[in-house]
């Protein structure tokens, strides 16, 4: 192995899907979130595997992500969580289901549908219950629903919201207030419409911690990839990022390492040069306090991480040029790697550059 590779373990994905599904009632639908290239993996390969496992729905952030899935042959319904007004044609061309989340988007989408003589287009309705990120609040929801009722261009498929703190049990009171508000608003909306709607609110940690918000469907993103917001569950990381020692440099006491004299050697130091840097998604913030695994040992970063390489301290570690380097895997996972510099696994995984070769492990 002479380069940096991201391995994507589809058997781990299947295992995680099984673990999460085991928490659900038999009739509850499962929506898999595959945005950001499947959390930095390979959204198409992830989606195809989940289709083979009879997934009910997919969710992406933007229309182009859904279009890519359609072009790869995915026929499963796809919710677009944050569609933009510029993507109307793409949404309708690829039969994607947009989230209606603001009057600006709603009004413009209705106008587009009418101008193209499109009727009963499937959409989802986002309710803001306290995350205050996207969606109609309780005062806006009734007005928005009236607009939808008064036109034949849109047909709602679901009502949904997003929980803010289900991984923190000390915030249970706030989470329950979100759930109760969603129940209240969705009940009013359902009474206004003459057809059934799917209700969905729960995320990965919500599935494990708050079964009362299971409703008709759940959404899982990070859990499918083996992580669960710091909670310990029987999930297996899907990602394994490995590289190689390209060169070993022997530095003497007083030598500097990296740009801006990022590190000074206090003793004779064995430096390993690894071909992965911030252009690959390993932030410069990992220059201090982070480590990789070389032959079972922790090798800490030294000097400032460069665009294409990072340097680690191999002093005391039996190693040679060409040896494998594990950035993260199942045992030393991306959450551990993230914690070393005060961030989260989401950021690590989704920052991984497309120039890193992907290898699918079946």
The helix (H) or strand (E) run that includes residue 251 is strand 247-251
Chain centroid to CA 333: how far? 16
What burial class does residue 343 get, using C-beta atoms within 10 Å of its C-beta: 0-12 exposed, 13-18 middle, 19+ buried? middle
Residues contacting residue 146 through CB under 8 Å, at least 6 positions apart: none
For residues 343 and 233, the answer to whether their CB atoms sit within 8 Å is no
259 is known as an active-site residue: yes
Catalytic residue among 3, 259, 320, 354: 259
Contacts of range 194-201, beta carbons closer than 8 Å, 24 or more positions apart: 195/155, 197/156, 197/157, 197/158, 197/159, 198/29, 198/157, 198/158, 198/159, 199/158, 199/159, 199/160, 200/29, 200/31, 200/158, 200/160, 201/160, 201/161, 201/162, 201/163
Q: What are residue 282's phi and psi, to 5 degrees?
A: -95, 100
For residues 64 and 36, the answer to whether their CB atoms sit within 8 Å is no
Catalytic residue among 35, 101, 160, 346: 35
Radius of gyration of the chain (CA): 24
Token look-up 């799917």 returns 198
160 is known as an active-site residue: no
What amino acid positions are annotated as catalytic residues?
35, 259
């Amino acid at each position: 192995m002479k380069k940096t590779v991201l391995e994507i373990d589809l058997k781990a994905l299947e295992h995680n899907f099984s673990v999460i599904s085991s928490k659900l009632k038999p009739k509850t639908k499962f929506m898999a979130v595959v945005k950001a290239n499947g959390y930095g993996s390979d959204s198409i390969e992830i989606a195809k595997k989940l289709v083979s496992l009879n997934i009910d729905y997919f969710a992406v952030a933007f229309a182009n992500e859904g279009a890519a899935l359609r072009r790869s042959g995915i026929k499963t319904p796809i919710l677009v969580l944050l569609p933009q007004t510029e993507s109307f044609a793409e949404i309708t061309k690829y039969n994607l289901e947009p989230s209606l989340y603001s009057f600006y988007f709603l009004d413009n989408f209705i106008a587009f549908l009418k101008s193209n003589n499109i009727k009963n287009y499937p959409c989802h309705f986002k309710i803001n219950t306290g995350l205050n990120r996207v969606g109609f609040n309780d005062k806006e929801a009734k007005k928005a629903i009236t607009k939808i009722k008064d036109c034949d261009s849109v047909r709602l498929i679901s009502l949904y919201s997003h929980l803010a703190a289900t991984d923190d049990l000390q915030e249970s009171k706030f989470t329950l207030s979100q759930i109760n508000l969603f129940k209240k608003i969705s009940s009013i909306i359902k009474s206004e419409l003459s057809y059934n709607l799917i209700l969905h609110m729960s995320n990965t940690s919500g599935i494990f911690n708050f079964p009362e918000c299971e409703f008709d469907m759940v959404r899982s993103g990070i859990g499918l990839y083996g992580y669960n917001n710091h909670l310990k569950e029987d999930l297996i990381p899907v990602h394994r990022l490995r590289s190689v020692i390209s060169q070993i440099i022997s530095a003497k006491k007083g030598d500097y390492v990296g740009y801006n004299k990022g590190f000074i050697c206090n003793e004779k130091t064995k430096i390993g040069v690894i071909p992965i840097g911030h252009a690959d998604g390993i932030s410069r913030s990992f220059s201090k306090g982070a480590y990789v695994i070389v032959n079972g040992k922790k090798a800490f970063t030294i000097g400032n991480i460069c665009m294409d390489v990072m340097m680690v301290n191999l002093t005391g570690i039996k190693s040679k040029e060409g040896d494998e380097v594990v950035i993260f895997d199942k045992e030393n996972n991306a959450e551990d790697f993230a914690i070393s510099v005060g961030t989260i696994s989401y950021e690590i995984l989704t920052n991984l550059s497309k120039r890193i070769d992907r290898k699918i492990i079946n």
